[in-house]
Structure 1
Amino acid sequence: MPSRSFRARPRLTGRHRRTAVALALAGALGAAAACAPSGTAGSGAGPGAGPRVKPVIETGFDLDRLVAAAKKEGGVTVYDSTGDITKTAAAFTAEYGIKATGVKSKVGDTLEKMTRENQAGNATIDATFYEDGPSLVGQLLAQKVVYTWIPGSLAQDIPVPRQNPLQVLSKGNMWVYNPKLFPKGCPVRNIWDLADPAWKGKVALQDPLGKPNIVEFFNQLKSGGDTRLRQAYRAKYGKDLPAGESAGEAWVKGLAGNSPILTSSDDDAAAAVASPNQTKERVALVSNAKFRDVKDKNYSMRVCAGMQPWAGYQYPKFAAVATKTKHPNAARLFVYFMLTQAGVDTQMNTGGVPGNPRLEPGSFMPDGLTDWNGQLLVFDPDRLGGDFANLQAMQDYWRLNHR
């Protein structure tokens, strides 16, 4: 199958837009069915996916030997979708005396660059911390552009579901409001409120076609959130959602058709709700990283703490090593560093959950969030293959229903 990308397509309007999208949706659904590899029992790949590429677990792991080998390689370059990677690189250099370069890059750009470098046999990216699990499983790992490496000394500490691919931490996207405009609490108490006409044109979020984990959120709702979404629907409307209807698709359709405010970044979504002198009564979906703006930009922002069934979702970050890297030991050492407290702390200044459960979570908690696992939908890693297979269809489903 051709590579899937999150680059936004030109938007059409009116009848031509609806016709084009309907045709694209039909084609995408057919392509997904034709191209998706069949599932294998016990593979852990999830619906619509084949067996996962197994991780490399280094038994007999020796840290001193790895450090010595890494120093002979001279340096390491790691790509990540957050600017915090520069802090991680600086801390790595201070810890091991090895020059590290951290580069902020969107996941789509990282995917394209690593794929091309692999094909050319000239890898300049040695490792990546990668936030799009579906394309990692369905493309980079499947095509052997990268591989998962786990130090044997830590393998027993990391739950098996977090090993393939290797999860190094999780952060969150959460629904927020402005407490100055809503002093009695979040005006949205139920996820279905976001699809209600009362909130038409008042919900801000980054355009899902430009943010992979939002589309993954939609697919995870469809595949694993049905029961709780139905419960929330009944709590709001006093009746059941029709039995034959997908709760996840119904909610996505409702949100898309409710004229949401689509932005090009989380910064713009946060500003639409929380910036100083803001008078518009809105809610927004933003990353927990935006809570630094409460102090830095005098924003007024709080998580919709009691929102049912979730106040947002966790999105994991994975580690992978380039198969053709010229610095394999330094790349592996960088991954090891991220599984230690000193490493993961460099990326949890606004909160988060380490992939290694023996480590302490970030001390910062966004206002209104008290339980990362209880208040936020946690992505099921066994569904990543299915999320990849259904990616294009869900993107087009959003396009078809967006108003």
Structure 2
Amino acid sequence: MRRTRKIISVALLAVAAAACAPSTSGAPSPAATAGALPAPSLDAGLDLDALVAAAKKEGSLLVYDSSGDIEEVAKAFTAKYGIAMEGVKSDTPQTAEKMIREHAADNVTIDAAMYEDGGVLVGQLMPQGVARTWIPSDLTDQIPAENRNPLLALSKATVFAYNGRLSPGGCPVKNVWDLTEPEWAGKLVMQDPLGKPTVLSFFTQLDAHGNQALEQAYQAKYGKALKTEEKSAAYEWIKRISRNRPVLTGSDEDVSAAVGAPNATDKKIGFMSISKFRNNEDKGYKQATCEGMTPFAGFSYPKYVAVAAKSKHPNAAKLYVRFIMTEEGVKHEIGEGGVSGNTTVKPLVTAPGLSDWQGQLFHTDPKGLLGDLRDRQTVSDFWRVNHG
């Protein structure tokens, strides 16, 4: 059974550090309109043996990640290299806040981090010099150019899921607009978007390049074109979802329990990470992806890896980056499904009902990460007003 060390949210930033924190006003922060990212560093002609030796001299490594899977990665890393690695589960906003504070104080403890919030990474942490991209040169040919800056470690997914015992004939929801209907009021269970950057980014990405698919799905369900007073089909769907009394939780584990528990009696739809399909085996849950749902059964999102610019264990941090960019390292993060940023690593998808990663999911466009950060407050306020 996995044990996770959760980080308690730290106190409010001091005035100097607060200037670096994510904007909470309606206007975009300067970082959200940043230009080109700092170029990634790449050690030409990487000597892996020399890097391992240098990392061993540093003695230890601390990596933060939003997933408890980092503890399994840490065990594998330590077993392979004999370097004490600690993996800490911490929500991305808290990780970013801690790294900003440590950088400003010249007291860095976090050596590297995994980021699901690409907007904060490319809009704040990297331009401000808090975090940087390092690419293992011996793997460069295996990493497509679009995955290099920031460095994409893997892609994961959040999907609509149902209880297969209660609905043996398949998912009772066939179209994303179904979830806006009165019959599904109070029956969608999901993490609160206001505390989940990946869901907020999903909303902003939907508005950026998902409107046509949503309009077509509406036409398919209702036999007529969507008419809305909102700015787009995405915002209309978000409004209707938020007003249909979704049950909001603080974790995907709670979503999974509400939907798939063996003693569940009420049909609910969960919007949750595919990592929670492990509960089918671990806890006897009966969960499956809403396969065939129009126009998508969920969304994929990127998880990036970056090194703290002032890391006290820079070689160990680099070695970790190289490790997570190989199958040996990333397999612990992929778990029930995911795609490595290294094209030589075979994708792994074991989540029931998710048979076509590319075709069933709405995919995050990495070119829109800054837009995600810029528009986050707008979509947050829109959700808050409509959810009430």
TM-score between both structures, scaled by the size of structure 2: 0.91
Alpha-carbon shift at residue 136 of structure 1 (Å): 1.1
- Find the counterpart in structure 1 of residue 293 from structure 2: 307
1:190 lines up with 2:190 in the alignment: no
Q: Which amino acid aligns with 1:240?
A: A
- Indicate conservation of the 8 Å contact 2:31/2:123, yes or no: no
1:42-57 alignment, distance < 5 Å: 50-57=35-42
Alpha-carbon shift at residue 248 of structure 1 (Å): 1.1
Counterpart CA distance in 1 for 2:135 and 2:288 is 37
- Find the counterpart in structure 2 of residue 240 from structure 1: 225
Alpha-carbon shift at residue 243 of structure 1 (Å): 8.2
- Indicate conservation of the 8 Å contact 1:83/1:103, yes or no: yes
1:391 lines up with 2:387 in the alignment: no
Instruction: Deviation per CA, 1:213-235: give whole Å up to 9, x if none.
Output: 01011011011111211111111
In structure 2, stretches of 5+ residues that fail to align are 1-18
- Find the counterpart in structure 1 of residue 128 from structure 2: 143
Q: Which amino acid aligns with 1:122?
A: N
1:152-163 alignment, distance < 5 Å: 152-163=137-148
1:255 lines up with 2:273 in the alignment: no
Counterpart CA distance in 2 for 1:304 and 1:28 is 37
Q: Which amino acid aligns with 2:252?
A: D
- Find the counterpart in structure 2 of residue 166 from structure 1: 151
1:297 lines up with 2:283 in the alignment: yes
How has the CA–CA distance of structure 1 residues 239 and 2 changed in structure 2, closer, same or farther, with 3 Å as cutoff?
farther
Q: Secondary structure, in 3 states, of the residue corresponding to 1:390? A: helix
1:216-227 alignment, distance < 5 Å: 216-227=201-212
Alpha-carbon shift at residue 167 of structure 1 (Å): 0.7
**Among the aligned pairs, what percent are the same residue?**
50
Counterpart CA distance in 1 for 2:243 and 2:39 is 41
- Indicate conservation of the 8 Å contact 2:31/2:127, yes or no: no
- Find the counterpart in structure 1 of residue 352 from structure 2: 367
Alpha-carbon shift at residue 104 of structure 1 (Å): 1.2
Counterpart CA distance in 1 for 2:236 and 2:21 is 28
Counterpart CA distance in 1 for 2:186 and 2:71 is 37
Instruction: Deviation per CA, 1:231-269: give whole Å up to 9, x if none.
Output: 111111112224884111111111111111111111111
1:59-70 alignment, distance < 5 Å: 59-70=44-55
1:24-103 alignment, distance < 5 Å: 28-29=25-26, 31-32=27-28, 35=29, 50-103=35-88
Q: Secondary structure, in 3 states, of the residue corresponding to 1:156? A: helix
- Indicate conservation of the 8 Å contact 1:313/1:379, yes or no: yes
Counterpart CA distance in 1 for 2:315 and 2:355 is 39
- Indicate conservation of the 8 Å contact 2:228/2:236, yes or no: no
Alpha-carbon shift at residue 49 of structure 1 (Å): 5.0
1:345 lines up with 2:331 in the alignment: yes
Q: Which amino acid aligns with 1:353?
A: V
- Indicate conservation of the 8 Å contact 2:21/2:97, yes or no: no
Counterpart CA distance in 1 for 2:215 and 2:25 is 27
What RMSD, in angstroms, separates the aligned Cα atoms of the two structures? 1.7
Alpha-carbon shift at residue 277 of structure 1 (Å): 1.7
TM-score between both structures, scaled by the size of structure 1: 0.88
Instruction: Deviation per CA, 1:82-119: give whole Å up to 9, x if none.
Output: 11111111111121222211111111111111110000
How has the CA–CA distance of structure 1 residues 345 and 250 changed in structure 2, closer, same or farther, with 3 Å as cutoff?
same
Counterpart CA distance in 1 for 2:226 and 2:37 is 35
Instruction: Deviation per CA, 1:305-332: give whole Å up to 9, x if none.
Output: 0101110011211100000011111101
- Find the counterpart in structure 2 of residue 332 from structure 1: 318
- Indicate conservation of the 8 Å contact 1:36/1:389, yes or no: no
Of residues 252, 273, 288, the one that matches 2:274 is: 288
- Indicate conservation of the 8 Å contact 2:211/2:232, yes or no: yes
